[in-house]
Structure 1
Amino acid sequence: MKLTYSLESVLQNDFGEMTVCFGLEFQKFLSDLEFTADTDYRGYEEYPEEAFHDTLANLMEQFAEDKLELPLLFSVELDEEMSILGILFRYMFLLADKENFKTLCREYEVDKETEEKCLCDDTDCIVIYTGMSLQG
């Protein structure tokens, strides 16, 4: 699987300190969402794209405060009401620091430009969309 860069999220705390997180495979998440979700719900707080951004902001805040142990798997759900198929879906993500990401670079195909962005001094963490699953 080739990991591609597609998102940059920056969180600024009350003291002006920045936490920078790069996202890989975010376009794949949006594509999966387009395939499974009723887009009439886009913009709702419970819509998976909104839930992802809220969850990531919360995790980045915890990471900046050294309250988070990485790597961390997390997910957001698409409930049956918002699902085109009437089925509950879960979209999974991996949040990693640069050390964890170096290991992933050896296991997955990561192009040089993406690797450099993710490992540069300004980057604090990396979030990778790992796929979706049906919930029964």
Structure 2
Amino acid sequence: MRTTPSIVGTWQITVPKSEGNPESFEAFHTFFADGNWVEVNSFKDSNHGVWMGAGNTYLLTFAGFTSDEQGKYNGKIKVRASIKMDGADHLTAQWVLDMIDREGKVTEKAYYGTFEGTRMEVELP
């Protein structure tokens, strides 16, 4: 257990289905000490972003590419999240997602919701 909570590390994330989010999914979020961030999720997407904050409150902004059912590129997403650590190994967040099509048209807050995370720890073999 850590004495001073820090968001730096890898987190196992659960994003539940909700009114603003039609499908639940899981993800791994890695927060690097230099303010960079990376995600891979159960949709097999990877997203990249940046974070800032201290103590138990953080902000995260990230982006990723989208594709249609045939796998053809059709735009991007941008997500903004407000994160609260409610312990050294647990966090909760609220997020909003903007859709950006190939022509640059933005649909603000196309999806929104919450997520919860548990810190990944080293385990003995």
Normalising by the residue count of structure 2, what TM-score does the alignment of the two structures yield?
0.31
Higher helix share: 1
Higher RCO (Cα < 8 Å, 6 or more apart)? 1
Normalising by the residue count of structure 1, what TM-score does the alignment of the two structures yield?
0.30
Higher strand share: 2
